[in-house]
Amino acid sequence: MNARRSIADLSADLADRAESFCRQYFPEGRKQGNYWQVGDTSGAKGQSLAIRLQAQGGRKAGSWQDFATGEYGDLIDLLQERLGSVTLKETLREARSFLGVFPCPAMPREPRKAECPDTASAKRIARARKLFAAGKPVLGTLAATYLQGRGITRLGPALRYHPRVFLRRGEDDADPPRRAPALLAKITDNRGQVTGCARFYLDPSTGGLAEIESPKRILGQLHGHAIRFWSGTTRCDLIVGEGLENTLSVGTALPEFDLASCLTATHLGLFIPPPGIKRIWIAWDNDEAGCNASIILRKQLESREITCGDLVPNMGDFNDDLRAFGKDALRRSLIEAMKAQGLEIEDG
């Protein structure tokens, strides 16, 4: 049996034990009908990622879809994502260990036609760059209507709009694909390289988010990266937040600060600070996930000798505060919290 066939066999064997696989590698998830639901490929709590436990209606067991990012694949792909920065050979060794099959055969030296996860990731990043490049400035578009409807006035070149973005519900969705308008947000690393594009699908009739499952999706790589908004002035402070709308709400009240949106609580905890930053203000949502993410990020920052401060909304998130109390009241609240934690600033 050749190595390529053995990978297919491994994938099928893992699919036969999909529920046991999920319980071992994604213990924070939970079973919902014929699916195991978890937050993302890192195993965080949540429901964005669904793994099919048994074959049903012609759809294979073990197939998965992350509705927040648009990523999908089989259990070999998922195991590779779960293990992190490991080679395909190491992933196969782990799969065989789980199945009780040894040893791990050597991989073929000839180039294989089958696409490896690294190549797939590079292609997703390339697609993300192409999509964002095809967008246009948000002013005067449905994207501006959406943000302004939420009280947000802080914009920037990290945002664009596209009237017809490809919308796919899943790898094996029987419905034909369609296109929908979307706010686009550029995800970059600390060198300024684009690693992904966040898509916020919009409803032209309401100006709000489209009424579909997971209207907010990510194409490309988010791990450690962020959507960034610069104030135009040089400073050593950075505000890092969860969702795009929540981070921009803080930026609307504090336009003189640089911002970084990590989009989810999980990725807030994974944020990699850029060089030269001396202090980071963690703007987390007022819930358990946000609190846990802030603790994780704080530990990482303290190990790098970066000072931390916490910014916590009075309501569920900062966009709730902005809409309920207004920009001036939110600014006063944020400045007061920052001064209490050592920031020297003249609020003029």
Q: Convert the pLDDT of each residue in 88-117 to its tens digit.
A: 887 888 888 777 644 333 333 333 343 344
For 64-121, give the DSSP string: EEETTT--EE-HHHHHHHHH-S--HHHHHHHHHHHHT---PPPPPSSPPSSPPHHHHH
Compute how many other C-beta atoms are within 10 angstroms of the C-beta atom of residue 138: 22
- Output the pLDDT for position 209: 95
Judge if pTM exceeds 0.85. Answer: no
- Report d(CA 162, CA 141) in Å as an integer: 9
Identify whether the C-beta of residue 247 lies closer than 8 Å to the C-beta of residue 282. no
Q: Is 16 exposed, middle or buried (0-12, 13-18, 19+ CB in 10 A)?
A: middle
Residue type, 127: R
Q: What are the distances in angstroms from CA 128 to CA 62, 192, 218, 230, 342?
A: 26, 14, 9, 21, 39
- Output the pLDDT for position 173: 52
Angle separating helix axes 75-83 and 88-99, nearest 10 degrees: 110
Q: What are the distances in angstroms from CA 49 to CA 73, 78, 157, 214?
A: 11, 11, 30, 11
Q: Which residues contact 80 (CB under 8 A, 6 or more apart)?
A: 86, 88, 91, 117
**Token pair belonging to 138:** 């948000």
Task: Name the H helices within 84-210.
Answer: 88-99, 117-133, 142-149
- Output the pLDDT for position 176: 66
**Entry field: residues in the chain:** 348
Compute how many other C-beta atoms are within 10 angstroms of the C-beta atom of residue 28: 11
* Stretches in the chain below the pLDDT threshold 50: 1-5, 101-117, 170-172, 348
Helix (H) and strand (E) counts in the chain: 11, 14
Q: What are the distances in angstroms from CA 81 to CA 11, 117, 129, 155, 275?
A: 15, 9, 22, 33, 27
